[in-house]
Chains A and B, each alone.
Chain A
Amino acid sequence: MSEQKPKTRTWARWVVLAAILLGAFLFTGFFGIGLNIKPIMPEVFLPGEALSNTPIFGIEGFFITNTFWGMVGADLVVFLLAFGVYRGVKSGKMVLTGISGAVEALLEALQNMTEGTAGKWTKIIFPWFATITLLVLAANWLGLLPGVETIGLLHEGHGEYAVREMNFLGMEFSTIWDDSAEMAADAHGEEAVHAGEEEYHGAAIVPFFRPVSTDLNFTFALALVAVVMVQVIGFRALGWGYLTKFWNTKHFFDKPIFGFIDFGVGLLELVSEISKILSFAFRLFGNLFAGAVLIFVMGSLVPFFVPAMFYMLELFVGMIQAIVFGMLTMTFMAQATQSHGDHDEAHA
């Protein structure tokens, strides 16, 4: 085994180099005999794009969108992880191996973090932390797979690029290309990845898959559930006393000035709970959507090698955002379990 490892590495190195050279060859005519396909500047859609025009259950405006399939993909990944971990633990091993082991290591780190912040409420708070982190991580990283956001249905009628019928390895398919320049056409999957998303006039591609975290519905759903669960856990920890956080009349009469300030702060807390939903939702959405756009734009400007760097950045951002979302939820939940008595003393 130890001899094979370096071999594999050398092999992988040559593959990467070959891929870079192929990209240069295909897109720039670098060697004079290249195909000289001009990269396409994609059109950006904010909402998830509908894949069919038939509303589900006859509900107005409710279509199956590509982000729906992104959600299903993320769910599948999480379920598979759950299955793997469950089986690994049931087998009675002391230490999990493979991907389950990675999940376990991640969860252990997250649990230690939770224990440091939430103390005895860890048992209740930690599942939410783990769920949000795993789901968001799966959703974010799914968007980086080749083919996601680039392969889809052709919608004729919008966009500014022409449609061209292709035959590749005996399969019939269509692609769009910039007909403002003369070029020979070719499209296999790899180049599409390099070129970023291509959707457009004349025709536009509606991809089958789009990472669900670029859909505001998903991020809002997460944010709503997270903030609602913060309130639920707060109630569970402090009972009705939790409401005094928002409607604080404790010192309203005996210390008029500070009591009034406390009361105002309580109302501000209420506002901040709502703004939490907004900032949760838009933080994740903004980071991921901007990341996707960044990769489109970079891919269209420099179609080879450079997007790989941004893919690395997106890998990092996707993980950070997943952990930050979970950790903020955890921190807010932990804060909700603590009586805000010390808060009063700060003013008293």
Chain B
Amino acid sequence: MEALGINLPFLLVQIVNLLIVYTVVAKWIVGPVGSMLDKRRETIAQGMEDARVASEARANAEEEAAKIKAEAQAEASKIVSEATERAQSAGKDVKTAAEAEAAKAKEKALADVEAERNQMLGDLRGQVAALAIAGAQKLVGEALDEKRQHALLSDFFAGVKAGKVVVLDGDFKGDAAEVTSALPLTDAEQNTVKKDVLAKAGAQAVTFRVDPSILGGLVIKVGDKVVDGSVAGKLEGLRQNMR
């Protein structure tokens, strides 16, 4: 050991020296530097935290902005849809009005056509009567005078005999009455029918229709009841009975 230079006193000196140096280093270097490093680390961490908070706040603000934007968009789209709807409804109104107008025009046209037809049928009545009389004259000779014949025909077509509506019996109640005849009624006949129907059924208004398919007589509809006084109806009944 001596040859390697190791001797106990000097070794002890070295150990003591090392402990002194340890104390100095631990107290004056490691301590302050460690606390400084900690402080620095803390500062950095604080900075990071601040940055994080700031970025969070920014993210929040962005979110808020996005929300506001979305709200605005929703509002805008609502307004647009409302406007569209309103426009659509307005269009619909216009359309309905137009349709109503059209329907009215059509009705009017139909009424005109019907009136014209009635007129034509009315003109026809005289001719039919003349033809029928001529045919009957040929058949039965001159058994009937002309006046009588006309009355018969009138009865046939108008279902009105001696100023009375033939078919009208039983009780009717109704506000509106509709009278259908095969040929247009003369004004006098219409008045008679009207008067009768009004008296009998208590109806307030009477409308007249012309329908050649009933051949003759009258079909009177009061409220929901129908009195079939038509020739076609009678023929039908006859056919039923003959079965």
Interface residues of A (CB under 8 A from B): 46-48, 56, 59, 61-62, 65, 68, 71, 75, 78-79, 81-83, 85-86, 89-90, 94-96, 103-104, 107-108, 111, 126-128, 130-131, 134-135, 212, 215-218, 220-222, 224-225
Given A46, A103, A217, which contacts B3 in the complex, CB threshold below 8 Å?
Answer: A46
> Is there an interface contact between B37 and A108, defined as CB atoms closer than 8 Å?
yes
Contact of B25 among A56, A96, A131 (CB under 8 A): A131
Given contacts A215-B5, A216-B4, 12 further A-B contacts (CB under 8 A): A47-B4, A62-B10, A71-B13, A71-B17, A78-B24, A130-B29, A216-B5, A217-B10, A220-B6, A221-B14, A221-B17, A224-B11
Are B11 and A107 touching (Cβ within 8 A)? no
A135 to chain B: closest residue by CB:
B21
CA distance A134 to B33 in the complex (A): 14
B91 at the A interface (CB under 8 A): no
Counting CB contacts under 8 A, is B240 at the interface? no
- CB of A68 within 8 A of CB of B10, answer yes
Measured between beta carbons, the chain B residues less than 8 angstroms from A134 are: 25, 29
Q: Kindly supply a per-residue 1/0 record for chain B positions 17-60, scoring 1 wherever the CB is within 8 Å of any chain A CB and 0 otherwise.
A: 11111101110111011111101100100000000000000000
Cβ-neighbour of A65 out of B10, B34, B43 (below 8 A): B10
Tell whether, in the assembled complex, residue B7 and residue A217 are in contact, meaning their CB atoms are under 8 Å apart. yes
Task: Give the Cβ gap from A346 to chain B, nearest Cβ, in Å.
Answer: 35
Please judge, given known A-B contacts A47-B4, A78-B21, A127-B25, whether A220 and B33 are in contact too, CB under 8 Å: no
Q: Which of A59, A78, A86 is B32 in contact with, Cβ under 8 Å?
A: A86
Of the listed residues A68, A81, A107, A221, the one surrounded by the most CB atoms of chain B closer than 10 A to its CB is A221
- Show 23 A/B contacts (Cβ-Cβ < 8 Å), sorted by A: A47-B6, A56-B9, A62-B7, A68-B13, A71-B17, A75-B17, A82-B24, A85-B29, A89-B32, A94-B36, A103-B29, A126-B34, A127-B22, A131-B25, A131-B26, A135-B21, A216-B4, A217-B5, A217-B6, A221-B11, A221-B15, A225-B18, A225-B19
B21 to chain A: which residues have CB within 8 Å?
75, 78, 131, 135
Contact across chains for A78 and B25 when beta carbons are under 8 A apart: yes
- Collect the chain A residues with CB atoms within 8 Å of residue B5's CB: 46-48, 215-217
Is B224 an interface residue when CB atoms closer than 8 A count as contact? no
A-B pairs, top 10 by smallest CB distance, nearest first, are: A47-B5, A221-B14, A89-B32, A127-B26, A82-B28, A62-B9, A131-B25, A86-B28, A131-B22, A221-B15
* B169: Cβ under 8 A from any A Cβ: no
Chain B 85-98 near chain A by CB (<8 Å), digits 1 or 0: 00000000000000
B5, B37, B39 — most chain A CB neighbours (10 Å): B5
Residue of A nearest to B40 (CB): A94
* A61 and B15 alpha carbons, distance in the complex (Å): 18
The closest CB in chain A to the CB of B6 belongs to A216
CB-contacts of B150-192 with A (<8 A) = none
B2 is an interface residue with CB less than 8 A from chain A: yes
Q: B86 → chain A, closest Cβ, in Å?
A: 69
| Assembly CA distance A83 to B39 (angstroms) | 20
CA distance A270 to B19 in the complex (A): 25
> Are A221's CB and B25's CB within 8 A?
no
Residues in chain A near residue B32, CB distance under 8 A: 85-86, 89-90
Chain A residues contacting B22 (CB-CB under 8 Å) are 127-128, 131
CA distance A83 to B4 in the complex (A): 35
Chain A proximity of B14: nearest CB distance (Å): 3
In the assembled complex, the Cα of A90 lies from the Cα of B33 at a distance in Å of 10
Minimum Cβ distance to chain B for residue A84 (Å): 9
> In the assembled complex, which residues on chain A have CB atoms less than 8 Å from the CB atom of B43?
94
The answer to whether A85 touches B33, judged by C-beta atoms less than 8 angstroms apart, is yes
For B20, what are the chain A residues with a Cβ–Cβ distance below 8 Å? 75
In whole angstroms, what is the CA distance A294 to B24 when docked?
Answer: 34
Of A56, A216, A217, chain B has the most CB atoms within 10 Å of the CB of A217
- Min CB distance B36 to A, Å, is 5
Chain B nearest Cβ from A199, distance in angstroms: 16
Report yes or no: A220 in contact with B28, Cβ–Cβ below 8 A.
no
Chain A contacts for B36, CB-based, 8 A: 89, 94, 96, 104
Q: How far is the CA of A220 from the CA of B11 in the complex (A)?
A: 7
> A82–B6 contact, CB under 8 A?
no
Can you name the residue of chain B whose Cβ is closest to the Cβ of A229? B22
Q: CA of A48 to CA of B6 in the docked complex: distance in angstroms?
A: 9
Known: A104-B36, A108-B37, A216-B4. A135 touches B18 (CB 8 A): yes
Across the interface, B7 reaches (CB within 8 A) one of A61, A126, A131, namely A61
Collect the chain B residues with CB atoms within 8 Å of residue A78's CB.
Answer: 21, 24-25
Contacts of A221 in B (CB 8 A): 11, 14-15, 17-18
Check A111 against B17 for contact (C-beta < 8 Å).
no
Contact A59 B9 (CB under 8 A): yes
Contact of B30 with A127 in the complex, beta carbons under 8 Å: yes
User: Closest CB-CB distance, B47 to chain A, in whole Å?
Assistant: 12
Contact of B30 among A126, A215, A217 (CB under 8 A): A126
Closest to A47 in B: B5
CB of A45 to closest CB in B, whole Å: 8
**Closest-CB distance, A111 to chain B (whole angstroms):** 7
Chain B residues within 8 Å of A75, by CB: 17, 20-21
Contacts of A82 in B (CB 8 A): 24-25, 28-29
Bound complex: CA A221 to CA B12 (Å): 7
Q: Is the CB of A107 within 8 A of B30?
A: yes
* Chain B hits for A128, CB < 8 A: 22
- Contact call A107/B14, Cβ cutoff below 8 A: no
Instruction: Give the CA-CA distance A30 to B19 in the complex, in Å.
Output: 52
